[in-house]
């Protein structure tokens, strides 16, 4: 006897899947080549937008701006520029927002940002700067009619004392003008759905898009998770155990893990995903293919 797969397991299913991709600005010529190869590879999948991150303490500010402007100039993609309120005055940030507007950027991902001192350091607002992400959202909204995306934390931000306090901050960001939230990455889908229930109970009705991190490098991911407060389940560590020197198998396992996660989310009603690409397209492209996304075919002459 054969068992038919559920509709969501079929390529495309019966629901339209929507995606967005996140990149970080390159620091070297080699990294820039990798970034643009990844953008070209993922571009035909027609994402809703692609976002470009800031480094800790705004350390990649100029490279972020340059990458966003190049995406605008050389691709049909819609870029979303990350912006933080770390180590900058309101006037400096307002000037950046105005500069983006002149360049044609209409979508900003507004984040508080990490302290320049690194993980574990206490965030201290600039004395003439925006106090937090909600304050930043309000400031961006005053500069123009931008689409503003913010962050959400199913396991709470490391600096938040409780999940409720964290949701209070999300509510403040929404009240200030945020239209969408993207979650920090997670590996247990129940964490996302429990968080979604609590957010909806607070009257927050904007889209809460799950952020998906295909595990390109397990050891590096452990470091990311520690910094952002994301848990790494034991079963995930077991899957990658013994593969430090076996990149081919590691890539297959990574694709399988991410595919399982997104299929489960689709089966539970999720149709929009944000992928943290780490500037590499292969795993993300494969997962999108499994979800039924295909490059648009050229029109016949």
Using DSSP, state whether 245 is helix, strand or coil: coil
Phi, psi angles (nearest 5°) of residue 254? -60, -45
Mean pLDDT of 12-34: 87
pLDDT for the residue numbered 125? 83
H/E stretch holding 166 reads: helix 163-176
What span, in angstroms and rounded, lies between the C-alpha atoms of 270 and 262?
9
Mean pLDDT of 102-123: 84
pLDDT for the residue numbered 114? 80
Residue 203: give the domain boundaries: 12-290
- For residue 9, pLDDT over 90 is answered with no
What span, in angstroms and rounded, lies between the C-alpha atoms of 276 and 24?
9
Whether 122 and 152 have beta carbons less than 8 Å apart is answered as: no
Q: Is residue 128 part of a domain?
A: yes
pLDDT for the residue numbered 122? 76
Task: Decide: residue 282, CB within 10 A, 0-12 exposed, 13-18 middle, 19+ buried.
Answer: middle
Strand partners, 272: 18
Mean pLDDT of 53-65: 72
Give the least confident one: 86-95, 196-205, 291-300: 291-300
**Beta strand ranges found along 28-146 (DSSP E):** 50-52, 79-84, 107-111
Q: Is residue 65 part of a domain?
A: yes
Tell me the helices (H) and strands (E) count for the chain, helix number first.
Answer: 10, 9
What span, in angstroms and rounded, lies between the C-alpha atoms of 178 and 201?
18
Mean pLDDT of 85-102: 93
The residue with greater pLDDT, 15 or 228, is: 228
pLDDT for the residue numbered 12? 43
- For residue 10, pLDDT over 50 is answered with no
Task: Return mean pLDDT, the chain.
Answer: 90
Quick one: what percent of the chain has pLDDT higher than 90? 78
Q: Would you call 32 a catalytic residue per the annotation?
A: no
pTM of whole model > 0.75?
yes
CATH number at residue 154: 3.20.20.220
H/E stretch holding 95 reads: helix 90-103
Mean pLDDT of 64-73: 92
Q: Is residue 104 part of a domain?
A: yes
Q: Is residue 1 part of a domain?
A: no
Q: Is residue 3 part of a domain?
A: no
Q: Is residue 186 part of a domain?
A: yes
Q: Is residue 300 part of a domain?
A: no
Q: Is residue 76 part of a domain?
A: yes
Number of domains in the chain: 1
The active-site residue out of 22, 32, 40, 62 is 22
- For residue 104, pLDDT over 70 is answered with yes
Beta 272-276 vs 211-212: how paired, if at all?
Answer: parallel
């Amino acid at each position: 006897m054969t068992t038919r797969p559920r509709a969501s397991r079929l390529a495309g299913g019966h629901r339209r899947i929507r995606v967005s991709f996140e990149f970080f600005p390159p620091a070297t010529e080699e990294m820039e080549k990798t970034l643009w190869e990844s953008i070209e590879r993922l571009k035909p999948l027609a994402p809703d937008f692609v976002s470009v991150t800031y480094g800790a303490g705004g350390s990649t500010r100029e490279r972020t701006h340059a990458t966003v402007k190049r995406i605008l100039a050389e691709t049909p993609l819609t870029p979303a520029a990350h912006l933080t309120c770390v180590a900058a005055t309101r006037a400096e940030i307002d000037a950046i927002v105005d500069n983006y507007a002149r360049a044609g950027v209409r979508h900003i991902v507004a984040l508080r940002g990490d302290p320049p001192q690194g993980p574990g350091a206490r965030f201290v607002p600039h004395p003439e700067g925006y106090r937090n992400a909600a304050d930043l959202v309000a400031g961006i909204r005053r500069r123009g009619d931008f689409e503003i995306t913010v962050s959400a934390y199913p396991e709470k931000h490391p600096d938040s004392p409780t999940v409720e306090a964290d949701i209070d901050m999300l509510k403040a960001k929404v009240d200030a003008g945020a239209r969408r939230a993207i979650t920090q990455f997670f590996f247990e889908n129940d964490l996302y759905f429990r968080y979604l229930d609590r957010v909806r109970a607070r009257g927050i009705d904007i889209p809460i898009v799950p952020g998906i991190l295909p595990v390109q490098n397990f050891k590096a991911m452990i470091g990311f998770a520690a910094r952002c407060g994301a848990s790494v389940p034991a079963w995930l560590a077991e899957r990658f155990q013994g593969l430090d020197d076996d990149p081919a198998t590691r890539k297959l396992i990574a694709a399988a893990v991410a595919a399982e996660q997104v299929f489960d989310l689709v089966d539970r009603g999720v149709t929009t995903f944000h992928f943290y690409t780490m500037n590499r397209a292969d795993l993300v492209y494969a997962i999108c293919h499994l979800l039924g996304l295909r490059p648009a075919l050229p029109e016949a002459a």
